[in-house]
Structure 1
């Protein structure tokens, strides 16, 4: 390795692209390494009917407005198109089909390994975010169940579930959206540990995100943990659908058995279960860095700056600095902050050569 890069960015989704924008703006030498074949992060793997929970006018990365009517809610495919266009528009240094397998430190430099290469860098920003490592709770009997089990990140459309008996586990936006869609073609129950909580999508004719912005809550550090509370943004259609039992709502079942689930007062055969139970931080490539991760594999950091590893930063983590940290509207602010904090580390290394 002869080249030493100022920064290696892991992941070319919304977080990595926002980082790339600010790195290029500051004249850093960098690469964004993306495991897949396009600069769109996890979006191509989401279900087909997914729409952004924020309007287009509140869903832009830095420097480039999301196109179209600002009050509409962009579809999954529109987001993919926007992200890939963003990378090309700013001519960001994205290397696709480069899955990072391990990161270590040799002296003061990071060594970033893919399956066939090694890259040397003064700093590293992990931008694989919080939406690429699905979490499925280990409920009693799960491994005995013979029906279909999948995470919401694997769900694509209703086709394979038509006429089936399906249980959706979870109480957030994705769980309710999927259950609502499936209830049109299948017998569906959405099941949660706690009662569903609904938040109106609009107040006084304005989308919730308008009020989050004008009040400053969207950027405020005190509100960063609000994003971890499970609530459903609703124009009224979901609350009504559940009142009509399409889908029906029940408290989480007690356990699985081979053919189905045990409810509190009965057992019932089911065909499949969809877990809309969220994600965990997706940073397995940092396991070789001592004290970078906690016992559960999550980053140890303060506002996106590693607490123990100099030169290591994060963008795209839930609650990283604000309520919007893991969203398309918020990653740009966090990217700028992290890069400013890492600048001193980069400059202190001067013109170090590769190893």
Structure 2
């Protein structure tokens, strides 16, 4: 038998490995959505298993081994080793070009879609079992976008013309579903990221995520990491003396669906942002005796005044535009100080830029407050069973308390070496317009307190920037 024939016999198992690994890599990266992408550890295991299987086949005689000259076999063994190393090198290179996106909310979905359009492979890791969980599982029934739909579109796909100007929850979820299908965004669900560390030696991020179903730890190695966990992450309920003793229902706004079950009951809403105000309105509409805690001055605007302000901003100096908006709001709502609501010294848009505090877009709550249908109360001092005592010394009986007290971000618990990208609250620390760009391939989207419009801009900027580096 010739050396050439011997070489062919020895190459057979290598060809099997090449086909299995290279095929898996090509399949994983051929579709930009990365639906079937496996973690790094699984790919390495596949290589070892395939090599082990080939060895067993040899020992069992399943692969015919033709006698060969010693020199030829040695030469082919080198080729086999080189091929395996090339496969691993190619696979590692592909992995390093992968973009890991943490979070499958609108921000993460938009980023993945933009990357897909640029043929940049990516994986979206989502700790919940669905996309946009705040919208799909953790929001009340009457929720709708508070800004016109043109200001809330994700990149490269406008809302359908048939949708109303202010898109309701159901239609927004439908829009997200169609968006993901159109741009082939396929998140990996039930993946809770436990750590993300940067390796200076390899210049890559190592992301460890727990599969919350199997409890296995998966590892992902990437050159680029995008934090898209959103402004609304972990529900927050403040510590209040005696809260544990309350006999009625205690729930966060993410658990509230509608006021139907609270008809003829007394309900306290804690928190006067847009969610708190709208939940109070919903409870009152369903016949609940409703009270709301308002501790600090707030801006209340109508949808029309808000939209006018955004329009005037294009043509007038900022201070003049804001003065007009405040003047119109005072005229429209009047003095509400006797009802327990005062306005801040700083304007609504100034507060949004400085503190990320969005003005309340009124949907009818203000009218009910002025008529006395909804009672405004100061901060809570203590709770004892069903009695809640307030800063003004008054106590009232309640059947339920709904906390619309916002969220905390847990990003800093798992993100290491963030290079000063995020502050202690998990928001972008950098100044606009480069707030999305960190060091060492780390980026954030939707963490600049600029809403869906800001998330869309961030997603496009990050995707284009990564493309320029490849």
1:260 matches 2:406:
no
Greater fraction of residues in strand: 1
1:242 matches 2:369:
yes
What does 1:128-147 correspond to in 2, within 5 Å? Answer: 128-147=229-248
Q: Displacement of 1:96 after TM fit?
A: 2.8
8 Å Cα contact 1:55-1:70 kept in structure 2: no
- Structure-2 change in CA distance of 1:310 and 1:4 (3 Å): closer
- Structure 2 residue runs of 5 or longer lacking an equivalent are 1-39, 41-90, 211-215, 319-348
Corresponding residue for residue 128 of structure 2: 36
1:187 matches 2:289:
yes
Corresponding residue for residue 453 of structure 2: 329
Q: Which deviates the most, 165-174 or 101-110? A: 101-110
Corresponding residue for residue 445 of structure 2: 315
Q: Which deviates the most, 296-305 or 63-72? A: 296-305
Corresponding residue for residue 322 of structure 2: none
Query: Within 2, Cα distance between the matches of 1:141 and 1:293?
Result: 38
Q: Displacement of 1:122 after TM fit?
A: 0.3
Q: Secondary structure at the match of 1:136?
A: coil
Instruction: Write out per-residue CA displacement over residues 265-285 of structure 1, whole angstroms, 9 at most, x where no aligned residue.
Output: 332221221111222224256
TM-score, normalised via structure 2 length: 0.64
Between 1 and 2, higher relative CO (CA 8 Å, sep ≥ 6) is seen in 1
- Structure-2 change in CA distance of 1:281 and 1:38 (3 Å): same
Query: Within 2, Cα distance between the matches of 1:222 and 1:161?
Result: 37
Q: Secondary structure at the match of 1:254?
A: strand
1:174 matches 2:275:
yes
Query: Within 1, Cα distance between the matches of 2:423 and 2:362?
Result: 36
Greater fraction of residues in helix: 2
Corresponding residue for residue 113 of structure 1: 208
- Structure 1 residue runs of 5 or longer lacking an equivalent are 320-324, 348-355
Larger Rg: 2
1:22 matches 2:114:
yes
Query: Within 1, Cα distance between the matches of 2:459 and 2:256?
Result: 30
Query: Within 1, Cα distance between the matches of 2:413 and 2:442?
Result: 13
TM-score, normalised via structure 1 length: 0.83
Q: Of residues 223, 226, 248 in structure 2, which corresponds to 1:125?
A: 226
Aligned residues: 334
Q: Secondary structure at the match of 1:81?
A: helix
Instruction: Write out per-residue CA displacement over residues 222-246 of structure 1, whole angstroms, 9 at most, x where no aligned residue.
Output: 88625623521125x2221111122
Q: Secondary structure at the match of 1:73?
A: coil
- Structure-2 change in CA distance of 1:265 and 1:98 (3 Å): closer
- Structure-2 change in CA distance of 1:25 and 1:227 (3 Å): farther
Corresponding residue for residue 171 of structure 2: 78
Corresponding residue for residue 233 of structure 1: 361
Corresponding residue for residue 156 of structure 2: 63
